[in-house]
Structure 1
């Protein structure tokens, strides 16, 4: 067989080979390009998440305790030696992610006194820190840097941040003394100290300044009579001498993980490396790191989204495979007479297949290489997809030869009839397919899966279920059409009768399966996306069951009234939260020997009012909402774990719990798995009704305040909350306490936005959009194939009917009646598959990583019905348009004259 002849045949059937080439290009483009795009989106999400955290959160810090130096080496020399040794001992994934590192040696903070401090009556403690490279990270503003030359009896030279010095009335040349104090606060062994210079950092965001305590900040007093704490910079040589004299020192080594050095594809190895370091801490050192927290959160999201993408990719690629099979079958069916003539002229059984293989080799590999090359242009880190591209190219190349072998050797008969009684072989295959799909679904639910891995069972279940649903639809839909056809036969006119009769006999097995796969994938994406969105709303309502919440330490009781006077505030209620409280079996406080629990006090009616005013669906248990003061135990809502422990101890009718120093008796009035304002992973809690508390000498004070209102000003709420804390500290039963931390204000809208942004949400959104759009487009393309598969037979019938006097309007009506059942069945079956798949797969997908731990619930969405109807209308219009274009191209008169096999 000559190459020239194969080229001429490819040119002669250019449209069919172009279609096959385009499908091949799309498949290899997706295999090559989508992983790159996913990796790029994952990297962007990881960088955004890490950048939203404080930079110091990525630090891995080793510290020694504050003690006298024991090494014979100098303090700084020993620190420098261990600096490199600690880095070398890190696991390779962690070591390769480190981009910046620093070390320092410092003394414990000691009292400093001097005229400049006394002028403002300031009480100050100062720590002395030596660290390399500090001069390169700062600019000297006044004076000079401490001298590296140690001179006995010379005062300790120190440099301070210019802002820190200014707030404490210090300047270059300030004379001070530093040392320990006695129990009356008097300096006992003071050494002279002089401020030689003032510096300003070149870049305050430089990690060199993040060591604790910080050089650029003053640690304010935590209570009355407490000192300010600052850190000054000293030279290395004087610090070595002080350490040799017995001054207690502390060494610190910090290694910062670079955002650009962390590969989203290797998060598990990095997290494992951090765990190994945590377990194998060097003797005498304390390891502190917080990088694993955001990394674990992102890893959970990316694993869940990769599992979801595997399901979506399985549906899309299975649809494309079906389209390729349909394209190959359509091409060979148009050339059936050619291959029959080839056999009649003495060709072997494989002669047609060899001819098709020669033609396919000229087209498919070129299209596959082009698609792979286009995929490499997509920005992002590549995945090892070349073997998959090669495998797909081989399979698509063999599609035409295999389709040729499947062509009957004899002439073509009528293929538009479905036998009412299928063969035993076909029934066996279909029943086996249904059983296999059901068994795979059961196994997947029982076995579960490992998130982030491509599980063969996971990717096969959606495809098997879609094929099984299509088989059932094929078996079921001709029967109602037969009944409708019989009813239409009794009416006037031939359009309805002929249309329903032909629709009931249409042979559309393979095309219908492909349509169901495509529409099912699109519907699956839409349903899961709606479920995740609704679950985020519930998660936001769990975190903030109001329009806003103010969290602090303790608020004065009148803070509720003060907040109620702010503009836009409609309702306010109080909440008290305490963690790790112990149970008692009596009022005296006898330990009940039950594991500790969290305690939440809520005003039941107030919480119900705030939730209703905030339009939050929060059913407050009646036991909390209707509780009133009275004798006997308080009705409490507890978690199932607490209820089980209390029942086992015989305390479910009467137990005691401490709240802000007061012990209250309660009984179990109900159980709930979760409750608003508590973390999603909280499994032990007791909820008490605030309004029913008995009168005691001291009353509980709230730790959080829930607000319902419109256009709330977060800054005004923050100011009111801080003032409420200050009033409690000033007017409460205990005064002179340490300064409280400022309040935090969270709005439900902000929480909801944070849940939908950052992290791997970009990858998740891409999966939903690509799956829904791709499934819809491929579904329409499959419908076009379905129409084209029966276009020749319909063209002949329409040609004869037009000859018998069928009008153009009746012709359009006949076409509409014939195609409507086919399109409706395929779209509805695909939508049904897409709605059922989330119910089956949702428990194993791990999508709660995107909803702050709140389980994702997939439920019926009324909008899905409207979307299916709209898609059905579009699909029907598209099918009619394809049929009309095809009939115009074939010219119905020529179809009738040339005969059935033209």
Structure 2
């Protein structure tokens, strides 16, 4: 068989081979390019996630105990040696991600006195720190750096940050003394201390300045009569001398992970490496790291989205595979007379298949290589997809010869005369397919799956269910059409009768399956996306069940009135939250031995008002909303775990809980799995009604404030919250001695935005958009194949009817009546499959990683009906347009003259 003859045949049937080549190119492009794009989006999301955290969150810190040096070696030499040893001992995954490293040694803070401090009556403790890299990270402003050469009887030289020195009334040349103090705070002797110079950091964001206590700021006193705390830089030789003299010292080694070096594909290995470091930390050191928390959260999202992408990819690739089969079948059908003639001239049974194989080899591998090359141009880290590319190329190359072998060897036949009753063999295959799809779905729900892995059962279940639904639709839809056709036969005109009769006998088994697969994939993406979005709304309402929330330590009671006077505020309510409280069996505090619980005290009616004013769908239990002061235990809403423990201990009607120093008796009035303001992983809690609390010696004060309002300014709320905390500390019944931390303000809009934009949401959005758009386009293409599959027989019928006087308008009506049932059945079946699949797969997809732990609920969306109707209209218009173009190309008169298989 000559290559030239194969090339001529490829040119002669160029349109068919072009279609096969385009489909091959699309498949290999998706296999090669989509993983790169997913990896790129994942890396971008990971960088955004880590960059949103404080830079020091990426630090891995080792800290020694503050104690006198136990070794005769110099303190700095020992610290430098361990600095390299600790880095070498890191797991390779962690060590490769570390770029910046720092270490320092410092003394315990000691009292410092001097005339410049006394001039402003400043009480000051200073810690002396040696930092080898400080000269490169800062600029000397005044004086000189501490001398590295140790000279006996010379004062300890220290350098200070210029802003710190200004706040402490110090300058280059200030004479001080440093040492221990007695019980009254008086300095005992002490050593001379000289401020040798002042420096300013080149870049305050440089990680070298993140060591605690801060070098660039003065630490405010934590209580009345307490000293300020500052850190000064000394020479390494000076610190070694203090260590030898017995001053307590502490070493710190910090290693910062570079965001650009963290591979999103290897997060599990990195987290495992951090856990190994945690378990194997040296006994004399304390390891501190918090980067595993955002890494775990992002890894959970990536695992969930990769599992979802596997489902979407299975639907898209199965649709493309079906289109390739349809293209090969259509090409073989158009050339059936050619293969019959070969057999008639004495060729073997495989002659046509060998001819088709030679033609495919000329087209398919070239298209596959081109698609693979285009995929490599997509930015992103590559995955090992070459085996899949080779497998797809081989299978598509064999599609055309296999279709040739499967084609009937006989001559022309009437394909429009399809029996309503299928053969026993076909019924057996279809029943087996239905049973297999049902069994696979049951096994998937019972067995579950491992997120992040491509599970063969997971990717096969959507395809099996779609094919099963298509089979059922094929068996069901001719029956109502038969009834409609009989009714149409009794009416005037032939358009309705002929159209419904032909639609009921249409042979569209394979094309309709492909349409259902495509539309089902698109509908699945739309339904799941809507479910995730609705669940994010519920998650935002759980985190902030108002327009804004202010969280602090304790607020003065009048803070509610102050907030109410702010512009835009409509309602404010109070909440008290305490964690890890123990339940008691009596007023004396006898331990009930039922574990610890979180306590939330809410004003039931106030919470209900704020939720309604904020348009939050929150149902406050009646036990909390209607409770009033009175004798007996308070009605409480508890979690199922607490309810079970109390029932087991026989304390359902009477238990005690401590709230801000006062013990309150309560009874179980109801249970809730979750409650607003509590984290998703909290499963032990007690909710008390604030308005029903009995009068006690001390009045509870709120720790959280919920605000409903319009155009709320977060900074204004923060200022009001801080002022409320300061008033409580100044005027409260028990005046606070420790400086309160600043409040945090969260708005529901900000929480909703963070849930939608943070983490791996870019990959998730790509999956939804790509699946919906790709499924819709492939569905339309499959409908075009469905139309083309019966175009020849329809052309012959229309040619005959046109010669009998059928007008052009009647011809279009007949075409519309014939195609409408087919398009409607395929689109509706696909939409139904796409709506049912989320109900089956949602529990195993792990999408709660994108909703702050709130379970994703997939429910019926009314908008889906409008989308299906619009898609059906577009599909029908597309089908009619394809049929009209095809008839114009074939010219109906020639179709009638050339016969059945022209």
Task: Calculate the TM-score normalised by the size of structure 2.
Answer: 1.00
2:553 corresponds to: 553
Matches of 1:613 and 1:364 in 2, distance apart? 63
Is the CA contact 1:138–1:201 (under 8 Å) kept in the aligned structure 2? Answer: yes
Residue 369 of structure 2 is aligned to residue 366 of structure 1? no
What is the CA-CA distance between 1:590 and the residue it aligns to?
1.1
Matches within 5 A, 1:65-144: 65-144=65-144
Q: Deviations over 1:239-279 (max 9, x none)?
A: 11110111110011101111011000000000000000001
Matches within 5 A, 1:454-473: 454-473=454-473
1:796 corresponds to: 796
Is the CA contact 1:63–1:285 (under 8 Å) kept in the aligned structure 2? Answer: yes
2:288 corresponds to: 288
Is the CA contact 1:224–1:736 (under 8 Å) kept in the aligned structure 2? Answer: no
Matches of 1:857 and 1:628 in 2, distance apart? 36
What is the CA-CA distance between 1:736 and the residue it aligns to?
4.8
1:222 corresponds to: 222
Is the CA contact 1:58–1:256 (under 8 Å) kept in the aligned structure 2? Answer: yes
Matches of 2:120 and 2:597 in 1, distance apart? 48
Residue 564 of structure 2 is aligned to residue 564 of structure 1? yes
Matches of 2:570 and 2:888 in 1, distance apart? 68
1:538 corresponds to: 538
The runs of 5 or more residues in structure 2 that have no matched partner are: none
Matches of 2:596 and 2:432 in 1, distance apart? 54
Matches of 2:417 and 2:302 in 1, distance apart? 49
Matches of 1:846 and 1:628 in 2, distance apart? 42
Is the CA contact 2:104–2:132 (under 8 Å) kept in the aligned structure 1? Answer: yes
What is the CA-CA distance between 1:416 and the residue it aligns to?
2.2
Matches of 2:417 and 2:52 in 1, distance apart? 64
Matches of 2:52 and 2:726 in 1, distance apart? 30
1:644 corresponds to: 644
1:672 corresponds to: 672
The 1:736/1:759 distance shift into structure 2, 3 A limit, reads closer
2:206 corresponds to: 206
Matches of 2:472 and 2:108 in 1, distance apart? 79
What is the CA-CA distance between 1:667 and the residue it aligns to?
0.2
What is the CA-CA distance between 1:722 and the residue it aligns to?
1.0
Q: Deviations over 1:419-452 (max 9, x none)?
A: 2221111111000000000000010111111000
2:182 corresponds to: 182
Greater shift in the superposed pair: 728-737 or 688-697: 728-737
Residue 344 of structure 2 is aligned to residue 340 of structure 1? no
Matches within 5 A, 1:16-55: 16-55=16-55
Matches within 5 A, 1:440-459: 440-459=440-459
Matches of 1:32 and 1:758 in 2, distance apart? 27
2:56 corresponds to: 56
Is the CA contact 1:639–1:683 (under 8 Å) kept in the aligned structure 2? Answer: yes
What is the CA-CA distance between 1:418 and the residue it aligns to?
2.9
Q: Secondary structure at the match of 1:706?
A: strand
2:476 corresponds to: 476
Residue 819 of structure 2 is aligned to residue 819 of structure 1? yes
What is the CA-CA distance between 1:786 and the residue it aligns to?
0.1
Is the CA contact 2:604–2:690 (under 8 Å) kept in the aligned structure 1? Answer: yes
What is the CA-CA distance between 1:131 and the residue it aligns to?
1.3
Matches of 1:29 and 1:716 in 2, distance apart? 53
Residue 302 of structure 2 is aligned to residue 305 of structure 1? no
Matches of 1:67 and 1:720 in 2, distance apart? 43
2:712 corresponds to: 712
Is the CA contact 2:598–2:685 (under 8 Å) kept in the aligned structure 1? Answer: yes
Q: Secondary structure at the match of 1:466?
A: helix
Q: Deviations over 1:389-424 (max 9, x none)?
A: 000000000000000001111113111233222111
1:491 corresponds to: 491
Q: Deviations over 1:828-859 (max 9, x none)?
A: 00000000000000000000000000000000
2:887 corresponds to: 887
Is the CA contact 1:583–1:596 (under 8 Å) kept in the aligned structure 2? Answer: yes
Matches within 5 A, 1:234-249: 234-249=234-249
2:722 corresponds to: 722
2:752 corresponds to: 752
Greater shift in the superposed pair: 8-17 or 212-221: 212-221
Residue 275 of structure 2 is aligned to residue 272 of structure 1? no
Is the CA contact 1:304–1:845 (under 8 Å) kept in the aligned structure 2? Answer: yes
Is the CA contact 2:314–2:460 (under 8 Å) kept in the aligned structure 1? Answer: yes
Matches of 1:417 and 1:660 in 2, distance apart? 84
Is the CA contact 1:604–1:689 (under 8 Å) kept in the aligned structure 2? Answer: yes
Is the CA contact 2:640–2:671 (under 8 Å) kept in the aligned structure 1? Answer: yes
Matches of 2:877 and 2:448 in 1, distance apart? 42
Q: Secondary structure at the match of 2:375?
A: helix
Matches of 1:729 and 1:78 in 2, distance apart? 45
Provide the aligned C-alpha RMSD in A: 0.6
1:324 corresponds to: 324
Matches within 5 A, 1:341-740: 341-740=341-740
Matches of 1:695 and 1:242 in 2, distance apart? 58
1:862 corresponds to: 862
Matches of 1:474 and 1:435 in 2, distance apart? 17
Is the CA contact 1:569–1:710 (under 8 Å) kept in the aligned structure 2? Answer: yes
1:148 corresponds to: 148
Matches of 1:165 and 1:600 in 2, distance apart? 46
What is the CA-CA distance between 1:730 and the residue it aligns to?
1.0
1:196 corresponds to: 196
Q: Secondary structure at the match of 1:16?
A: helix
The 1:302/1:636 distance shift into structure 2, 3 A limit, reads same
Matches of 1:474 and 1:665 in 2, distance apart? 66
Is the CA contact 2:516–2:826 (under 8 Å) kept in the aligned structure 1? Answer: yes
Matches of 2:578 and 2:412 in 1, distance apart? 81
Q: Deviations over 1:319-340 (max 9, x none)?
A: 0000000000000000000000
Q: Deviations over 1:679-736 (max 9, x none)?
A: 0000100000000111112110000000001111111111111111111111111125
Q: Secondary structure at the match of 1:101?
A: strand
Matches of 2:385 and 2:736 in 1, distance apart? 67
Q: Deviations over 1:13-71 (max 9, x none)?
A: 00000000000000000000000000000000000000000110010101100000011
Aligned residues: 902
Matches of 2:753 and 2:526 in 1, distance apart? 20
Matches of 2:745 and 2:265 in 1, distance apart? 35
Is the CA contact 1:61–1:287 (under 8 Å) kept in the aligned structure 2? Answer: yes
Matches of 2:416 and 2:721 in 1, distance apart? 77
What is the CA-CA distance between 1:189 and the residue it aligns to?
3.3
Q: Secondary structure at the match of 1:105?
A: strand
Moved over 6 A (4+): none
Q: Secondary structure at the match of 2:436?
A: helix
2:766 corresponds to: 766
Is the CA contact 2:412–2:900 (under 8 Å) kept in the aligned structure 1? Answer: no
Q: Deviations over 1:771-825 (max 9, x none)?
A: 0000000000000000000000000000000000000000000000000000000
Is the CA contact 2:315–2:517 (under 8 Å) kept in the aligned structure 1? Answer: yes
Matches of 1:803 and 1:73 in 2, distance apart? 110
Matches of 2:537 and 2:209 in 1, distance apart? 40
Is the CA contact 1:148–1:238 (under 8 Å) kept in the aligned structure 2? Answer: yes
Matches of 2:526 and 2:685 in 1, distance apart? 36
Matches of 1:67 and 1:428 in 2, distance apart? 82
Residue 870 of structure 2 is aligned to residue 831 of structure 1? no
Is the CA contact 2:467–2:517 (under 8 Å) kept in the aligned structure 1? Answer: yes
Q: Secondary structure at the match of 1:418?
A: coil
What is the CA-CA distance between 1:112 and the residue it aligns to?
0.6
Q: Secondary structure at the match of 2:443?
A: helix
Is the CA contact 1:547–1:747 (under 8 Å) kept in the aligned structure 2? Answer: yes
Is the CA contact 2:48–2:759 (under 8 Å) kept in the aligned structure 1? Answer: yes
1:841 corresponds to: 841
